[in-house]
Structure 1
Amino acid sequence: MKLPLSETRRGKHGRKKSQVWDHFDEETMGEPGYVRAICKTCKRSFAYMKDYRQSGTSHLRRHLLLGTCQRNLQANHHSNTGANLHLHQKQARAKPYSNSISFDQVHCNDKIAKMIILHDYPLHIVEHKGFIDFARALQPRFNPLSLNTVQGDCVAIYFREKQNLLNLIDGIPGRINLTLDLWTSNQTLGYVFLRGHFIDGDWNLHHPILNVFAVPFPDLDGSFNQTIVTCLSGWNLKGRLFSVLFDKLFSNETLMGSMRGLLSLKNPVILNGQLLRQSCYARVLSCLALDSLWAMQETISKVQKKVQYVKSSKSLEERFWKLKQQLQVPCKMNLLVDDKNKWDTVYHMLVAACGLKEVFSCFDVYDHPGDTMLLTMEDWKQVENLCACLKLLYDAAKTLTIQSFSTANLFFPEVSKLKVQLTEASQDPHCCCLIMSLQEKFDVYWRESCFILAIAAAMDPRYKMKLVESTFAKIFGENAEPWIRTVEDNLRELFLEYSIIQVLPFTETNFDIGNKNMMKTDAYQEVSLDGFQGVSIDDASIFPVEVGLVEDELSDIEFYISDFTTNQEFKSELTKYLEEPLEPNVQEFNVLSWWSINEFKYPTLSRMASDILSMPVSTLSADSIFDTEIRKMDSYRSSLDSLTLEALICTKDWFHCESKPFDVSHTLVKMKY
């Protein structure tokens, strides 16, 4: 029974006080004074009156506005007129986020610029009719932007963020590591990506792109050096470089020689220049993988064609899997079509094909009885041997994809593990021919990098020199002692240099004097081990000394060095660290957190550790580790002016670094291999 409206809710002029009653009926429930509201559309019942006391209509309005009623959903979809529109307008006025808030065009422009930077949209998207219509549908007062306006906004954001990064770099206690990566283009220009790697005062690892600049390519000229110097000056990095890692693309000897001399003049020479490297670990692995694939190109091409044929139609693929079930082949992998630009996809394709070789053999007989491109059992055996070789390289490269740039202590065991695996695989008569050529090329990288990586491993308190000792013993057997001693000498030499820097005021002159006098110690010896020829010291060519040095200053430094090398108090910090018990090797161990906690216990050594641990082994980011070709700048970006290009690329990288802080926890180094 319906309650007469006149008895309940009519105003002074005979109207209902709320328009929700256009969508609800009232119904008494059993006894007078107990009334419920029934939705006319969905028939849902709501409390309204009990003992003649009303509950109000807010909950009825929410039923309409929140879309739980189908009638209201349809009404919102097709029209915003009548009572529904009136309800929406009242609700909007009641909420804090409403049309009553003034529209800020400047704020909107800033958000559009950030959107373009973050998602690589072209600048002229703001002039597209579709974008303008969309923006005005959201906000009718939106004023369309010109290309020049949004370009200026992007550059302004770049300068703002650059200043923030510059402030961060100026405040770090340690030094900077650099990597240089090269992209090509359709023009006679290459693009150099200069990236910095450092640890801040709170022991957080950073790896921002500092600069992007164009250079003549493939013929790099002398202007390259000057551009590098300009970039370093712009970031106040003079005298603050710890290491520089180049790509093999910068293999011009004249260029590298002048670059080495340039850095030696303006930065402290540490470890006799060993920290100016030309070997990117990711590139080395990719080159080895491509060499392996090239050696079996004909057989791989057969497999590719077979896979492509099966994947060319749904009916063929269904027939292939039906045959697999009939043959009861246990392989659970799916067929994959490879991407020629990623060598890991070729590896995965070959592994899956090997697991399904029986199916392919029967499928060929059934589908292509006269095919001259059939894969023989010998072909499949070659593919299996190739997969075993590629697996070693794939597993090694996979460690670089966990994090774009990890702390350097993790890589000595990984690189050493691969060396041992290649050595053992070279003894296998089935794949020794393929492996031996790879082993020879990898040994070049090993000899260039093993000492630097060993020093980084020694900065991990879980292993210190124990990991280095066991690894060299595994590789060199009875001849391991000279290699171990060289790492120890390098550690003490480096610690000595940091100790001098801690005591003396920072000046470029003091760095030069300190480096000059470092040669008077016996920390470096010429090393010849297993074909490795160490670098001997040449006073005149490597350590330039400015004319007119004050004799007293030189004498003071000589006195300090003499005192340092004879006083146990100065040597105790490094010695104490190496002699103390190892930390437990647990999965949750965070090497940066450990040094942060022990920073005051080891003030000099912790400064040295921060520079070493931030040292990169690859110039490539995680998404480029398996690339088979040099990255190429697209035509649109190549058409931009140098400032805009740098602004878009660098700022995007900085935004992503802010949103994805580096995490070094859950990293467990395995000593067994």
Structure 2
Amino acid sequence: MEPMPTENNALVNIEMEPVEPAYLDMQTTPETQPTKRRKKKSVVWEHFTIENVGQGVRRACCKQCKQSFAYSTGSKVAGTSHLKRHIAKGSCPMVLRNQAMDSQSPFSAPSNTGNNDNDVTPVTDQPKRRYRTANAPFFGFDSDRSRLEIAQMIIMHDYPLHIVEHPGFIAFVHNLQPRFDMVNFSTVQGDCIATYLREKQAIQQLIEGMPGRICLTLDLWNSCQTTGYVFVTGQFVDSDWKIHRKLLNVVMEPYPESDSAFSHAVSSCLSDWNIEGRLFSLTINQPLTETGIDSLRSLLSEKNPNILGGQLLLRNCLARYLSNIALEALKSSQETVKKVRDCVKYVKTSESLEEKFITLKQQLQVPSTKTLALDDQTQWNTTYEMLLAASELKEVFSCLDTSDPDYSKGPSTEEWKIIEHLCTYLKPLFETANLLTASTIPTTNTFFHEAWKIQLELTRAATSEDPVISGLTKPMLENFDKYWKSSCLILAIAVVMDPRFKIKLVEFSFTKIYGDDAAGFINIVDEGIHQLFLEYVGSGSGTAKVEDSESHGGAGLSNGAGSAGLSDFDMKEMDRYRCSLRAETVEALVCAKDWLSGEISETPNVCQIECPFYLGYAMDLETLKMTGRLSQAISMWHVKSQRNVTTPPPPAPN
């Protein structure tokens, strides 16, 4: 029965056509795709795409993180709420950029919304409920963690503290995370000091647990304000026989040229780290007056009982002597060296000339495999390598003028002989220096092998009848003899501790060097090893943890090159920015950088003999080899900043 129209409600009889559900528009396939699809108006589709993953199964894929989410399976559609929550977390960089550019939420609905199904209501950046899924880990923002990372970044990379107030840096951080409140200078300075104190506590626990003694290395750095900074680095062995090197203090000295500057720095370090009575050696990278040395001797004698009656209070270093001897030898023949350098420069400055040189070398059938290279005059090892290569190719240089009329005459035959002699006696210095800067840290007894061979070779050469050889090597012997006389005792004791050699190697080497006078020096070594035995046994040094600081002591003083962890300060001058900071801040920044950047550590290969004397003294000797250990081999060659790489040995009695 058809309905009858009324006055107030007129019904129109319209033939209704079936309407497909809206979700069918979103699961179309190539077979069922309609001719016209309704455009998706939800803002989530600015961040997602739809991918077909199987028959009737489609997933929404995030354009930024590429994570996929369920969207539709057959006729069932998951909707977009979970997609909105994914964007609201802030894990997608696109959303963060939109938030930085526009304060409006990326999910805010358009102002001119209509009554359609895809319109969404505005949501806030911080949803009331947080959802986590197994597929999408939650990435929360931690403001405190961000502050810690900024402090560590400034420490590790030597950035100025004022970087947090630079407009460019502020804009960069705000673009990454708008919710982060940028800190100011005072805040980041406090964060850096807090990082330093936290790391210092860990180092303190490590030092308190060391079973042996500690070796200190001192280095002085000047500033633009005429003040100085004494860097104090400690080397020690832990209970697992692992060697540690830590920058302990940076002490500002208003008068670095005074005789008490280093004494004050050492006293501050001993008190700060509570290591009074546990100091084994002290190495200094600075020429000191006798008054300054006596000041340190008095301090060490007061703070620590002396081993071997104070014979370890020294100021010598193998690395410094090697560099000084090599530089003096090169200086004595500087005119001849310059001629060779000019010849090498002539060949190396043009590819065509170098090719011509190589062709001539092949024609002359010179067997040398050396390659010519110009030297760096601030690094004597490169000069030695240049001279060595040129001397092996001297025949080619002598004939080069026949094929190249522009080539000026090179060194004469006599001058080439001088170069050969120079290379001959620089070779042991070069080989020893390479050993000291090898990746594997040499043990203390290794220094004895190298030192006595250099001493013996220079002694023989200085008495040569050839005036060229004797004139070259006598000054070298005089300089090295100063090191040998003050170092042979401690190095010889280290060799005696080596079960492969014991006293026999000392007797053999001393006989070669001293001849009939060797017996007296051998007796000194024998008495020294027995005295050390009594002192270590009496103090109870061994594998047990040190409990009584008064039973430990002994300090060696050597004058060598400085800390290994300061290769960034090759010019030995504090930068102007740090000079403007407080002394406490400078110490915090420099020390924390050393601690955060890692350390040089190695487990030495020692014989685990159950003997308190052997274990105690061997452990202390192992710390000596780290004293002033080079982090980079090139630092040792540098004229402006030589580094100490050897042990602080005691002087042999006259």
TM-score above 0.5: yes
1:454, distance to aligned residue in structure 2 (A): 1.6
Aligned residue in 1 for 2:522: 484
Matched, 1:375 2:411: yes
Partner Cα separation in structure 1 for residue 180 and residue 595 of structure 2:
29
1:194-273 superposed matches below 5 A: 194-215=232-253, 219-247=257-285, 249-273=286-310
1:252, distance to aligned residue in structure 2 (A): 0.6
Structure 1: runs of 5 or more not aligned = 1-9, 23-45, 67-78, 86-92, 504-594
State the secondary structure of the residue aligned to 1:468: helix
Specify the code of the residue in structure 1 equivalent to 2:192. Answer: C
Partner Cα separation in structure 2 for residue 405 and residue 360 of structure 1:
40
State the secondary structure of the residue aligned to 2:250: strand
Specify the code of the residue in structure 2 equivalent to 1:336. Answer: A
State the secondary structure of the residue aligned to 2:26: coil
Farther off after superposition, 413-422 or 287-296: 413-422
Structure 2: runs of 5 or more not aligned = 1-20, 34-50, 68-92, 96-105, 107-131, 608-624, 626-654
Partner Cα separation in structure 1 for residue 359 and residue 491 of structure 2:
51
Aligned residue in 2 for 1:402: 438
User: Cα distance 1:172–1:346, how it changes in 2: closer, same or farther (>3 A)?
Assistant: same
Aligned residue in 2 for 1:345: 382
State the secondary structure of the residue aligned to 1:174: coil
1:258, distance to aligned residue in structure 2 (A): 2.1
1:292, distance to aligned residue in structure 2 (A): 0.7
Partner Cα separation in structure 2 for residue 155 and residue 378 of structure 1:
63
Aligned residue in 1 for 2:334: 297
Paired residues of 1:177 and 1:611 also in contact (CA < 8 A)? no
- For 1:648, which of 567, 581, 589 is the aligned residue? 589
Paired residues of 2:246 and 2:595 also in contact (CA < 8 A)? yes
User: Cα distance 1:343–1:187, how it changes in 2: closer, same or farther (>3 A)?
Assistant: farther
Matched, 1:457 2:495: yes
User: Cα distance 1:236–1:339, how it changes in 2: closer, same or farther (>3 A)?
Assistant: same
User: Cα distance 1:101–1:59, how it changes in 2: closer, same or farther (>3 A)?
Assistant: closer
Higher helix share: 1
Farther off after superposition, 261-270 or 167-176: 167-176
User: Cα distance 1:55–1:472, how it changes in 2: closer, same or farther (>3 A)?
Assistant: farther
User: Cα distance 1:134–1:342, how it changes in 2: closer, same or farther (>3 A)?
Assistant: farther
Aligned residue in 1 for 2:126: none
User: Cα distance 1:47–1:143, how it changes in 2: closer, same or farther (>3 A)?
Assistant: closer
Aligned residue in 2 for 1:662: 602
Matched, 1:173 2:211: yes
Aligned residue in 2 for 1:15: 26
Partner Cα separation in structure 2 for residue 56 and residue 424 of structure 1:
91
Partner Cα separation in structure 2 for residue 303 and residue 199 of structure 1:
47
Partner Cα separation in structure 2 for residue 183 and residue 356 of structure 1:
43
User: Cα distance 1:224–1:60, how it changes in 2: closer, same or farther (>3 A)?
Assistant: closer
Matched, 1:354 2:354: no
Farther off after superposition, 441-450 or 376-385: 376-385
1:268-287 superposed matches below 5 A: 268-287=305-324
Aligned residue in 2 for 1:537: none
State the secondary structure of the residue aligned to 1:206: strand
Paired residues of 1:177 and 1:244 also in contact (CA < 8 A)? yes
State the secondary structure of the residue aligned to 2:306: coil
Specify the code of the residue in structure 2 equivalent to 1:158. Answer: Y
Partner Cα separation in structure 1 for residue 280 and residue 321 of structure 2:
23
Partner Cα separation in structure 2 for residue 412 and residue 232 of structure 1:
30
1:288, distance to aligned residue in structure 2 (A): 0.5
TM-score, structure 2 as length reference: 0.66
Partner Cα separation in structure 2 for residue 436 and residue 190 of structure 1:
37
1:228-273 Cα shifts (integer Å, max 9, x gaps): 31221111122222222334x3431112112212211221021111
State the secondary structure of the residue aligned to 2:212: coil
State the secondary structure of the residue aligned to 2:231: strand
Specify the code of the residue in structure 1 equivalent to 2:294. Answer: G
User: Cα distance 1:362–1:235, how it changes in 2: closer, same or farther (>3 A)?
Assistant: same
Partner Cα separation in structure 2 for residue 57 and residue 477 of structure 1:
94
Paired residues of 1:205 and 1:614 also in contact (CA < 8 A)? no
Aligned residue in 1 for 2:191: 153
Partner Cα separation in structure 2 for residue 103 and residue 210 of structure 1:
35
Which protein has the larger Cα radius of gyration, Structure 1 or Structure 2?
Answer: 2
How many residues in Structure 1 have an aligned counterpart in Structure 2? 505
Percent of residue pairs bearing the same amino acid type: 44
TM-score, structure 1 as length reference: 0.64
Of the two structures, which has the highest relative contact order with CA contacts closer than 8 Å and spacing of 6 or more?
2
Matched, 1:419 2:455: yes
State the secondary structure of the residue aligned to 2:25: coil
RMSD, matched Cα: 4.5
Paired residues of 2:314 and 2:559 also in contact (CA < 8 A)? no
Partner Cα separation in structure 1 for residue 171 and residue 377 of structure 2:
40
Paired residues of 2:495 and 2:501 also in contact (CA < 8 A)? yes
Matched, 1:392 2:428: yes
State the secondary structure of the residue aligned to 1:202: coil
User: Cα distance 1:381–1:267, how it changes in 2: closer, same or farther (>3 A)?
Assistant: same
Partner Cα separation in structure 2 for residue 18 and residue 48 of structure 1:
12
Specify the code of the residue in structure 1 equivalent to 2:151. Answer: A
Partner Cα separation in structure 2 for residue 147 and residue 421 of structure 1:
60
User: Cα distance 1:310–1:213, how it changes in 2: closer, same or farther (>3 A)?
Assistant: farther
Partner Cα separation in structure 1 for residue 360 and residue 163 of structure 2:
51
Specify the code of the residue in structure 1 equivalent to 2:26. Answer: R
1:390, distance to aligned residue in structure 2 (A): 1.6
Paired residues of 2:263 and 2:296 also in contact (CA < 8 A)? yes
1:441, distance to aligned residue in structure 2 (A): 1.4
Matched, 1:112 2:150: yes
Paired residues of 1:406 and 1:664 also in contact (CA < 8 A)? no
State the secondary structure of the residue aligned to 2:373: coil
Partner Cα separation in structure 1 for residue 337 and residue 136 of structure 2:
61
Aligned residue in 1 for 2:534: 496
Aligned residue in 2 for 1:563: none
Partner Cα separation in structure 2 for residue 140 and residue 351 of structure 1:
62
State the secondary structure of the residue aligned to 2:377: coil
User: Cα distance 1:185–1:260, how it changes in 2: closer, same or farther (>3 A)?
Assistant: same
Aligned residue in 2 for 1:27: none
User: Cα distance 1:61–1:227, how it changes in 2: closer, same or farther (>3 A)?
Assistant: closer
- For 1:332, which of 369, 373, 387 is the aligned residue? 369
State the secondary structure of the residue aligned to 1:207: strand
Paired residues of 2:241 and 2:604 also in contact (CA < 8 A)? no
User: Cα distance 1:649–1:238, how it changes in 2: closer, same or farther (>3 A)?
Assistant: same
1:382-438 Cα shifts (integer Å, max 9, x gaps): 222212222111111112212596542332222222222323443553522211211
Aligned residue in 1 for 2:511: 473
Specify the code of the residue in structure 2 equivalent to 1:279. Answer: N
